[in-house]
Structures are given as C-alpha cells and as structure tokens.
Amino acid sequence: MKLGMIRSTYPNEKRVALLPEHITNFGENLVVERGFGEMMDIPDEAYAEKGCRLADREEIFAECNAIFSLKLIQPHDYPHIRDGQMIVGWTHPEESGKKFMEAQGFPKELIIVDLDNIKPSIHLNGKKALIDSIPRNFVVKNSFVAGFASAVHAITSYGQLPHTDTKIAILAAGNVSQGAFTAVSKLGGQDIRLFYRKTMNEFKETLSDYDIIISGIEMDDKSKHILSEDEQQQLKPGALVIDAAADAGYAFEGVDYTTYEKPLYKKHGVYYYCVNNAPSYLYRESSRAISESFSKWVYSRDMQEFYDAAQTLT
C-alpha cells in the first residue's frame, strides 16, 4: 500500500515532514506531491533521486489509499477524500480534529492513524486502538521545539524580555517544558520555578506571584483543569500565560486557541498564548526532528499494517 505525501495547507504550517536525507529503503513506497519540499528549498528532483514518484495533489488523493498530511486536512481538500481512505498524521480526532471527523471521518469511514507523540493510535468509526509498535515520545525532539518555540514566540509577541526580577513558573518537567525552560533561560529569565503535578497545590498558593506561567501539560482527564476560570482571576494583572502544550480550554479552563497573526489575547487583565502548531515557528528545526522520527517509525513501514489493525475495530 503506497503512502501519498501531501503538503499540509493548515494555516501557517511551514514544516516539511520528510527530508530526502532520511529516505533509505522505502522510497518506492512513497508518492510525493510536487513542491513538497519547497519551504526547505528542496527540489522535487531530490525526492525522485531517492526513488519517490512525484505526482500532483489530486492525483495522489485519487491513487493512494493512504494519505499523509502533517496537520489537519483543510476543507478545500474534502471533495478529494475517498470513502475508506487512510489519513496519517496529526489529526487528533478526539480533540482539535473533532470537526474534521464530523465532516469527513465518520461519514466516509476514514481510517485515522493519529501520530500523537504520547499515544499514537488508530481510529475507525468512533473506536480506537493504540499502536504499540510506535514507542511513547517517539518524536521527542519536536516536543522540545514546541516548548522552545512557544516561549520565544509568546514572549517576543508580548514585547518584553524576562529580567532578573521576572518571576516565571513552568508547569511539568516533560519535553515541552524542558524546551520552554531552555528558551526563557536564554532570553534572560533567572527566577524560574518548576512545578509538577504533585506540587500543583503549592503553585496555586502563589498564583499572584508570577509574571510568566508556562504549561507543558496536556490533560488526560479533559474534565479537569490546571487552573479553573475562578483561579485565573487570582493571576497578577498583566501576567503572560503560555499554553505550550496547546491544550486549549483544558489545561486552563476557558482559554481559546490563538493564531500566528494574533498570538496573544487579553482576558480579565491577563495575556494568553495558545498556538497549536507553534513548532512551525522554528520550522526548519522542527522539520528535521519530524522527518528523522517519522521515517524510522512510520514511513519505512507498509501502510497495510495499519489497515489490517483498523479492521479489528469493526
């Protein structure tokens, strides 16, 4: 089963999810859209030399049973999606991809291979199964970039670098938070405190102390929040809250996604940042991390494996 690689047309998405240098023994299994590597100045010939077949976008949808799109496929491509087709990438069908599932996933009985960094899974007709053969944190470098990029983008959009007396709280110690910690340290932050799930009560007791709060937490239980809307009322006026995990409305109750054009919004005197494809801000760095990991764990495989696994869900 061939995998058709299309360029993501998600707003402001610049990442190239496959670099020719990572194509080893699986080039003949890939059909790549012409212009796929344009954002990284990669000519089509570089993919052809590795054994990939080049094709136009509509041709890929028509011929390939499996379609790779890094981010959510956008409505202008909906007419090209065929019944029963497999969609591979970051669809997140139970979160940011809910509308896509309602419009396309369920009506067309699409097989969704969601390459979530923590819980990669296969979805079909409202049922799902974890992909045990892909390890947890398989694209860890991109998670680090997500935290780093979110912190840099948010702070520079806010218009003020951290000073020695800027109090910063970073929630969780995972890959996203580590990236954010590295970024704020390089930007001048010195008064930085790390809080973990077990010490969240201590954080809540000192909410009003912090000028910048960065979360790298994606909530497993979507009915719970790190901070409720009432608790957010205790934040320091003018504080900057950065949801680097882009868990909009869940990590911080009531918080909405923001965009590259408008990365911040103000609510009750507090500034919020929640861009859900922040790594694209450092798209060259992120592209390399994604290409390396996805090549090892996804592109090198026969998509028939995922198709067969999906049939067990029916």
Three-state secondary structure of the chain: CCEEECCCCCCCCCCCCCCHHHCCCCHHHEEEECCCCHHHCCCHHHHHCCCCEEECHHHHHHHCCEEEECCCCCHHHHHHCCCCCEEEECCCCCCCCHHHHHHHHCCCCCEEEECCCCCCEEEECCEEEECCCCCCCCCHHHHHHHHHHHHHHHHHHHCCCCCCCCEEEEECCCHHHHHHHHHHHHCCCCEEEEECHHHHHHHHHCHHHCCEEEECCCCCCCCCCCECHHHHCCCCCCCEEEECCCCCECCEECCCCECCCCCEEEECCEEEECECCHHHHHHHHHHHHHHHHHHHHHHCCCCHHHHHHHHCCC
- φ, ψ for residue 67, nearest 5 deg: -120, 130
Question: Cα separation of 86 and 92, whole Å?
Answer: 14
Section 165-178 average pLDDT: 93
Q: Which residues pair with 69 in a beta bridge?
A: 89
pLDDT of residue 21: 95
CATH architecture of 3-114+283-311: 3-Layer(aba) Sandwich (3.40)
Section 287-308 average pLDDT: 94
Query: What's at 186, amino acid-wise?
Result: K
User: Which residues make up the CATH 3.40.50.720 domain(s) of the chain?
Assistant: 3-114+283-311, 140-276
Positive or negative: CA dihedral 22, 28, 29, 30: positive
Query: What does the mean pLDDT of the chain come to?
Result: 94
Angle between helices 283-294 and 140-158 (to 10 degrees): 160
pLDDT of residue 99: 96
Strand order from edge to edge, sheet including 121-124: 53-55, 30-33, 3-5, 66-69, 86-89, 111-114, 121-124, 127-130
Question: Cα separation of 4 and 167, whole Å?
Answer: 47
Question: Cα separation of 102 and 73, whole Å?
Answer: 13
Indicate whether 201 pLDDT > 80.
yes
The domain defined by 140-276 folds into Rossmann fold (3.40.50)
**Reported pTM:** 0.87
Section 222-237 average pLDDT: 91
Query: What's at 246, amino acid-wise?
Result: A
pLDDT tens-digit map of 43-75:
999 999 999 999 999 999 999 999 999 999 999
Indicate whether 26 pLDDT > 80.
no
